[in-house]
């Protein structure tokens, strides 16, 4: 949304574009903080990865910082953002592929 001009999110279960694989996003309803606490309690090793967006100065890290700042200002905001992608109203968005705005009009009572 901020950089690509699209609203997209990966759902918990997704059929790949080629329709050959089902992609499962693990733990979508758990906060990163909860996952971190669990991983620490279980003493899971941290495996270095430079493919998953953990490098410094990437847009992903900047957005994470922004979200954390919003959460400090307004606790619950991240949960609200997540809920918003579960409650989409296509007619309230501006996507002409989802809603026919051109033919939208009032009908006269006869």
Query: Residue-wise pLDDT tens for the chain (110 aa)?
Result: 877 888 888 889 999 999 999 999 889 889 888 999 999 999 998 877 766 655 666 787 888 899 999 999 999 999 999 899 889 888 888 888 888 888 888 887 65
- Residue 32: the pLDDT is 86
Task: Please report, for residues 42, 103, 110, the alpha-carbon distance to residue 107 in angstroms, rounded to integers and kept in the order given.
Answer: 63, 11, 9
- Residue 6: the pLDDT is 86
Element (H, E) at 83: helix 77-84
Are 85 and 9 a contacting pair, CB within 8 Å? yes
In the chain, where the domains are located? 13-83
- Residue 1: the pLDDT is 81
- Residue 76: the pLDDT is 93
Determine whether 15 is exposed, middle or buried from the number of CB atoms within 10 Å of its CB (0-12, 13-18, 19+).
Answer: exposed
Are 64 and 72 a contacting pair, CB within 8 Å? no
Task: Please report, for residues 67, 68, 71, 78, 84, the alpha-carbon distance to residue 75 in angstroms, rounded to integers and kept in the order given.
Answer: 11, 10, 5, 8, 16
- Residue 99: the pLDDT is 86
């Amino acid at each position: 949304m901020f950089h690509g001009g699209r609203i997209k999110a990966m759902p918990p279960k997704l059929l790949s574009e080629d329709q050959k694989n089902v992609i499962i996003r693990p733990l979508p309803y758990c906060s990163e903080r909860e996952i971190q606490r669990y991983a620490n309690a279980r003493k899971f090793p941290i495996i270095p990865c430079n493919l998953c967006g953990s490098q410094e100065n990437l847009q992903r890290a900047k957005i994470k910082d922004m979200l954390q700042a919003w959460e400090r200002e307004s606790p619950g905001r991240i949960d609200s953002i997540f809920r918003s992608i579960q409650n989409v109203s296509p007619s309230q968005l501006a996507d002409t592929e989802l809603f026919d705005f051109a033919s939208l009009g009032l009908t006269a009572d006869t």
